[in-house]
Amino acid sequence: MISENSPIILSVNDLTANVDGTQILKGMNLEIKAGEIHAIMGPNGSGKSTFSKILAGHPAYEVTGGEVSFLGQNLLELEPEDRARSGVFLAFQYPLEIPGVSNLDFLRVAYNSRQKHQGLEELDAFDFDELVQQKLDVVKMDAAFLHRSVNEGFSGGEKKRNEILQMALLEPKLGILDETDSGLDIDALKIVADGVNQLSNPDNATLMITHYQRLLNYVVPDYVHVMANGRIIRSGTKDLALELEERGYDWVLDEAAAGVA
């Protein structure tokens, strides 16, 4: 539920950024309040993944201007791990495989890093096991996945579910899902969407990046933004997503171009 008085979780002002000397973000503006679900849509190459990685602090991207505040603090001056521990979570478009590191160990170390950072109790292997069993239900994942190496040999859908499992454990204040729906069949999509809905509450916020409206039937956004060429060119409600589905992106791009001209 959204209310005017909800605290602001993320506020992005005129953010510009480069990768390898090329400007990719050309003035992003976005405000997300607690309890809200936002969707960013837009054609391939418009800078959506870049934006999500910059929020998470990927070192390959260079912020050249603008501000990002997260829960009132300057997000841009935090190391990636501190952003994560403070509650920024990014579900990757292409989750990596990490051979040799068990999923369970990975989850426990991640969980305990956050606990420690927030001055909360770290869990031993035994207590953690109990916790993780409950979280498995969120994404209907089999416990056998815990004992395999992180994402190694997982199918596309299993990797995405594993991302949501990590999110369920880390309970972020801002969950950013980069194309979490892509490559999923309808059953997997429903499971992932159901997981996201379970995790959403009045104290946190979700930013979904997708270029299909399909996911938005299951996770209903409060706001939809269209991104093109490094900035948000239009914002609306979920009806905008339906309109995009029907008419494609060109008309928005044309209108934006006309508006700028």
Q: What Å distances lie between residue 17 and 22, 136, 205, 238, 258, CA to CA?
A: 8, 37, 24, 28, 25
DSSP 219: S
- Give the CA distances from residue 220 to residues 38, 101, 234, in Å, rounded to whole numbers and listed in that order: 9, 35, 18
Q: Which is nearer to Mg ion, 49 or 162 (CB)?
A: 49
Binding residues for another protein restricted to 161-180, rule: CB under 8 A? 166, 170
Residue 20 CA: distances (Å) to CA of 4, 17, 24, 59, 229: 40, 10, 10, 11, 17
CA 219 to chain centroid: 13
In the complex, least distance from residue 178 CB atom to Mg ion, rounded to whole angstroms: 6
Q: Pick between residue 88 and residue 226 the one whose CB is nearest to another protein.
A: 88
Q: Which of 105, 171, 194, 222: binder of another protein (CB under 8 A)?
A: 105
The nearest distance, CB 117 to Mg ion, in angstroms, is: 29
Q: Is 56 in the site for another protein (CB under 8 A)?
A: yes
State the minimum distance, in angstroms, from the CB of residue 185 to another protein: 25
Residue in the structure block whose two tokens are 């990490």? 98
In the bound state with ligand ADP, the residue whose beta carbon lies nearer, of 47 and 195, is 47
Token reading at 230: 């490094």
Does 96 contact another protein by CB under 8 A? yes
Count interface residues toward another protein (CB under 8 A). Answer: 32
Rounded (5°) CA angle 33-182-136: 70
CB closer to ligand ADP, 149 vs 183: 183
Contacts with Mg ion, 40-59, as mask; x by CB under 5 A: --------xx----------
* 210, interface contact from ligand ADP, Mg ion, another protein, none, CB < 5-8 Å by kind: none
By CB under 8 A, tell whether 70 contacts another protein.
Answer: no
Q: H or E stretch including 167?
A: helix 156-170
Q: Which is nearer to another protein, 51 or 89 (CB)?
A: 89
